[in-house]
Amino acid sequence: MGNPNVGKSAFFSRLTGVRVIISNYPGTTVEFTKGYLKLGEEMAEVIDVPGTYTLEPTSKAEEVATEMLKDGDLVIDVVDATNLERNLFLTMQLLERDIPVIVALNVWDDTKHRGIHIDVKKLEQLLGVPVVPTVAVTGEGMKELVTRIHEAASPPVSHRTRDERWAAVGRIIEQVQTVTHRHHTWLEHLGDASVKPFPGIPIAVLVLLTSFMIIRFIGESLIGYISEPLFNNLWAPLMMRLSEFLGSGGFLHDILIGKLISGEIDFIQSFGILTTGLFIPFGAVLPYVLAFYLVLGFLEDLGYLPRVAVLLDTLMHRLGMHGYAIIPTLLGLGCNVPGILATRILESKRERFIVATLISIAVPCAALQAMVIGLVGGEGWHYVAIVYGTLFVVWIILGLILNLTVKGFSPELLIEIPPYRLPSARILAVKLWMRILGFLKEAIPIVMLGIFVITILYALNVFDYIANFAAPVVSGLLGLPREATAALAIGFLRKDMAVGMLGALSLSANQLVVGSVVLAMFFPCIASFVVLARELKLKGMLVATGIMIAASLVVGSLLNLIL
Amino acid sequence: MTFNRQTTVAYMETGERGRVIEIAGGYGLTRRLEAMGIRPGKKITKVSSMLMRGPVTIQVDGAQLAIGFGMARRILVELESK
C-alpha cells in the first residue's frame, strides 16, 4: 500500500514478475492485481492495490485499497522518499492497525539530486519496523526488501487523532531528514511552464497536433508498408488456393473465405473468417492501436497528462466534470473499456456517470477510428474531419446538458502533479505489449464469431427481416440503405467490424459519414456494455444507453439533413 | 518582526512564497488537504494559476498540487516578506 504514484505497481511487478500497467500519474491502478512471490519454501500472495493518501477513502479506487487491507497478513508500505513527510501519515495509520508492516523507501534515486538526505537507520528505529531504500523501476534494493520481509513488525502503537499523528510525523522528519537547497533542473522548469496558461496552452496544442501526426504517420506507414503488402501479396494467393480447393463456393467457403468480388478476394468486402476476419484486426486496426498506445504510453510515463487536466479544468467544469476526467477520456480513445474503468479515480458518482456516458457516446475507440480513417479517409480528409468534428461537438453539447440535468455535485479539482520523468524504454515496451495483447485477445475471437454469425444470419435471411422492420429509421431518418441495418446491429459486437460492413455497401461519402458517426455513438460494443453495467449499476447503464440511442438518432438525422 | 500581508492561495501571485495559517473549511476539506500535505505551518510556493478562476498549482515540500479555485480561496496564507 502507499500514496498514489509512489511506484506500487512497478514494485509489485518487480516482486512477482506479473506485468501490470505502470504510468507516471496518480490513479493508474484502479483495481487490485494478484501475483505470487517465493519466500523461502512458501509462495506468498502479493496484491497490488490503488494508491491512497489516508485510510479514509475519497474515491472508488481508494475504497478498493482500504477494503483490501482487511484481508492482508502483511503490508509492504511503499513510501515516496522525495515526499517523506506526507507519505508517513499513511504509514502512521498503518502502524496503528494490528498488522505487520515493512516500509520500502521508493524513488530513492531521486533523493540525491533533489538534495534530500534521509537517515534510514534512524527512521527504522523511530518507526519500529524495517525500512529499505528501493528503486522499483530499476530493481535496486528489491532483494534486500524480500530478505527482510520476515522482520516486518506491528509495533504497539495506540490509536491517535489526526493532530497527534501529524505531530508524530513532524518529530520523525525533524530527526531523520535534511534538505539542502538546489537549483531547478530543466525538466522541472519545463514542468512549471506547462501548467501556466502561457506557455502551457500553446505547448498543449503543440503536443496534441504532434501526437496526431505521429499516430497517423506510424499507423499509415505500418499499413502501407507492412500489413497491406503482407495480406495482398502473401495471404491473398494462399486464400485463393483454399477458395479453389473448396470449390469457389458453398457454405464452408462462405464462412472461411466469404464472397469473391469479381473473382478475387477483397479483404473488406468478402467477409470470411480467414479473409476479412483476419484483415480487420491485424491489417487495418492493429497498426493504429500500436501507434496510439505508443504515443499515449510516452505521454503517460513522462507525466504530462495531469498537466492537461489542470489546463482543461475550467472547460471541463462546464461539462459537469473536473479536469482529471480527461485521463479516462484519453484512455477511452484507445479502448472504451479501460477508459470507463478509469472513471474510478473520480470522486463523485455523478461525475463518474457523466464521464462514462460521454466516453461511450462521443469518444471513438482506436479500432473504430482506424476503420473510419481507412474507409472515410479514402473519400477525402474533410469527411474524416466531419466525423471527428461532429463527435467533438456532441461531447461538448451532451456534457453541457448532462451538467444541467444530472443531480448531485461535481467536486473541485485536487490532484498531485507528478514531476516529469524520462520514460523508461523497458516499461514503455511492456505496457505497449500488454495493451496490444489485450486488444488482440478481445478483438480476434469476437470478430471471428461475428463473421460466423453474420454469414449464418444472411443465409437464413434474418437480416432481411430486421431490415424491413428498421427501414423507416435507417432509411427514413438516417438516409442509409436498408442493408446498413445489419452493420448497425453488428456494431453491438464490434464497431470496427461494423464499419467494415458499411464499407462493403458502396455508400456515398455522406452516407459513410452518417454511418460512421451513428456507429460511434449508437449502443456501446459488448465489452464496454459489460463494463458500463458493472461501473454504473443497472439503472445508470440503462439511462446511459437510452441517452446513446436517442443522441445517435438525433445527430444522425441532423447530419443526413445537413450533408 | 514585521506584519506580513495575509491572503489566500487563490490570490497569491505566481512565484510568491508563504506559510499556511489556516484552512477555512469543513472537516472533509481540511482532512483531504492535510493528507496531501497542506497544513497550517507549511511553507508553500505558488507555481501557476489558470485564467477564469481555474485551478491553481502550488509547491509543498517535494510535491506539486493542483487545487480548484474554490478550495484555494479557503487556504489562508501569510506571505513571506520580500
Predicted local confidence at residue A54, as pLDDT: 94
Predicted local confidence at residue B82, as pLDDT: 62
Predicted local confidence at residue A459, as pLDDT: 83
What are the pLDDT digits (tens) for A111-122?
988 899 999 999
Contact B35 A53 (CB under 8 A): yes
Using alpha carbons, list the distances in angstroms from residue A275 to A151, A232, A240, A534. Answer: 59, 11, 10, 34
The CA distance from A273 to the nearest CA of chain B, in Å, is 50
For A315, the enclosing helix (H) or strand (E) is: helix A305-318
**Among B14, B39, B52, beta carbon nearest to A314:** B52
The residues, ordered by sequence, that sit 6+ positions from A185 with a Cβ below 8 Å of its Cβ are A113
Sign of the CA dihedral B37, B38, B39, B45? positive
For A224, the enclosing helix (H) or strand (E) is: none
Q: Does the beta carbon of B81 lie under 8 angstroms from any beta carbon of chain A?
A: no
Contact B55 A413 (CB under 8 A): yes
The residues, ordered by sequence, that sit 6+ positions from A77 with a Cβ below 8 Å of its Cβ are A1, A2, A90, A91, A94, A101, A102, A103, A104
**Domains of chain A (ranges plus CATH)?**
8-179 (3.40.50.300), 197-562 (no CATH)
Backbone angles phi, psi at A103, to 5 degrees: -105, 130
Q: Which residues of A touch B45 (CB under 8 A)?
A: none
**Among A56, A80, A323, beta carbon nearest to B31:** A56
HSE on the CB side for A65, CA within 13 Å?
Answer: 31
**Where do we find the cell 447530419?**
A559
**Among B47, B67, B70, beta carbon nearest to A192:** B47
Angle between helices A495-503 and A509-521 (to 10 degrees): 160
By the 10 Å C-beta count (0-12 exposed, 13-18 middle, 19+ buried), A462 is classed as middle
SS (H, E, C) A472-515: HHHHHHCCCCCCHHHHHHHCCCCHHHHHHHHHCCCCCHHHHHHH
**Where do we find the cell 476526467?**
A325
By the 10 Å C-beta count (0-12 exposed, 13-18 middle, 19+ buried), A540 is classed as middle
Predicted local confidence at residue A298, as pLDDT: 97
Q: Supply the pTM of this predicted model.
A: 0.94
Q: Does the beta carbon of B33 lie under 8 angstroms from any beta carbon of chain A?
A: yes
Q: How many CB pairs under 8 A join A and B?
A: 98
8 Å CB contact between A319 and A277: no
Q: What is the residue type of A50?
A: P
Interface of B with A in 6-25 (CB under 8 A): 14
Q: Which residues of A touch B69 (CB under 8 A)?
A: 412
**Among A58, A80, A412, beta carbon nearest to B71:** A412
Contact A86 B37 (CB under 8 A): yes
Q: Which residues of B touch A323 (CB under 8 A)?
A: 55, 66
The CA distance from A102 to the nearest CA of chain B, in Å, is 21
For A178, the enclosing helix (H) or strand (E) is: strand A177-179
Q: Which residues of B touch A318 (CB under 8 A)?
A: none
Residue of A nearest to B47 (CA): A192
8 Å CB contact between A313 and A327: no
Contact A313 B68 (CB under 8 A): yes
Predicted local confidence at residue B3, as pLDDT: 62
Q: How many CB atoms lie within 10 A of CB A509?
A: 15
Under-50 pLDDT residues of chain A: none
Contact B48 A192 (CB under 8 A): yes
Predicted local confidence at residue A392, as pLDDT: 97
Contact A412 B57 (CB under 8 A): no
Interface test mutation site (partner B, options A108, A348, A417, max chain B beta carbons within 10 A):
A417
Q: Nearest CA to A149 among A223, A59, A46?
A: A46
**Where do we find the cell 525538466?**
A187
Residue of B nearest to A189 (CA): B47
Rounded to whole angstroms, the Cα distance separating A145 from A132 reads: 6
The CA distance from A392 to the nearest CA of chain B, in Å, is 22
Contact B62 A416 (CB under 8 A): no
Q: Which residues of A touch B67 (CB under 8 A)?
A: 412-414
- Is the predicted pLDDT of residue B2 greater than 70, yes or no? no
Residue of A nearest to B35 (CA): A53
Query: For the domain bounded by B6-79, which CATH number is listed?
Result: 2.30.30.90
8 Å CB contact between B42 and A224: no
8 Å CB contact between A22 and A9: yes
Contact B50 A56 (CB under 8 A): no
Q: What is the dihedral of CA A237, A239, A244, A247, to 10 degrees?
A: -160
Predicted local confidence at residue A184, as pLDDT: 84
Pairing of strands A177-179, A33-39: unpaired
Cross-strand partners of A142 = none
Q: Which residues of B touch A322 (CB under 8 A)?
A: 68
Residue of A nearest to B69 (CA): A412
Contact A412 B61 (CB under 8 A): no
What are the pLDDT digits (tens) for A226-278?
999 999 999 999 999 999 999 888 889 999 999 898 889 999 888 899 999 99
